Structure 1
Amino acid sequence: MIALQIAQIIADFVVFLELTDDDVLDPDDAVEMMEVLAGDLQALDKGFLRELIDAFAVVAGECSGEVQEVVRNIAYYFYLEEELASDDPIRLAELEALRDARI
């Protein structure tokens, strides 16, 4: 339950940083905050991080359009699956292949 609530807070923050017009929010400041958030997320306990990643899918399901796309991709944007797989070179290679296929 707490992971879902935290995922919603993070999603709101990321959506704001990602979709706010440049004349309202300085793009460099937005990128800097995204980098800070990425580091904070990657530093989370791996068990909780797994719950959080799964919760983003639930939160995204409650959204639509561009917001849904941003929320659905939070784990991708911040390399969270890669963080979970940091001790598993085979899984890391799989994730890298998936990332390459998306480009």
Structure 2
Amino acid sequence: MIATQIARIIASFVVFLDLADDEKLDADDAVEIMEYIGSQLDALDKTFLRELVDAFPVVALEYSGEAQELVRDIPYSFYLEETLAADDPVRLAELEALRDARD
């Protein structure tokens, strides 16, 4: 439950930072904040991070359109699956192949 609540908070920030126009938010500041969010996510306990990653698709359903896709892609955008697989070279290779296929 707490993972879903935290996912909602993160999703709100990501959607705002990504979709805000340049008149509301300086692009450089938005990038800096996104990098900070990413570093904080990387530092999370791996068990909790797994719960958080699994919560984003659920939270994404609360959004529509571009915002929904942004929220669903938070684990991809912040390389969270790679963070979780840091000690598993086979899984890291799988994730790299998936990224290559997606890009």
TM range (shorter): over 0.9
Which residue of 1 is the match for residue 38 of structure 2? 38
Which residue of 1 is the match for residue 67 of structure 2? 67
The residue type equivalent to 1:63 in the other structure is: Y
Which residue of 1 is the match for residue 97 of structure 2? 97
| Unmatched segments (≥5 aa) in structure 2 | none
TM-score by length of 1: 0.98
Off by >3 Å, runs of 4+ in structure 1: none
| Alignment of structure 1 residues 81-96 onto 2, 5 Å | 81-96=81-96
- Equivalent residue pairs, number: 103
Q: Percent identity?
A: 72
CA shift, 1:23, in A, is: 1.5
Which residue of 2 is the match for residue 17 of structure 1? 17
TM-score by length of 2: 0.98
Q: For residues 100 and 26 of structure 1, what CA distance do their matches in structure 2 show?
A: 31
RMSD, aligned α-carbons: 0.5
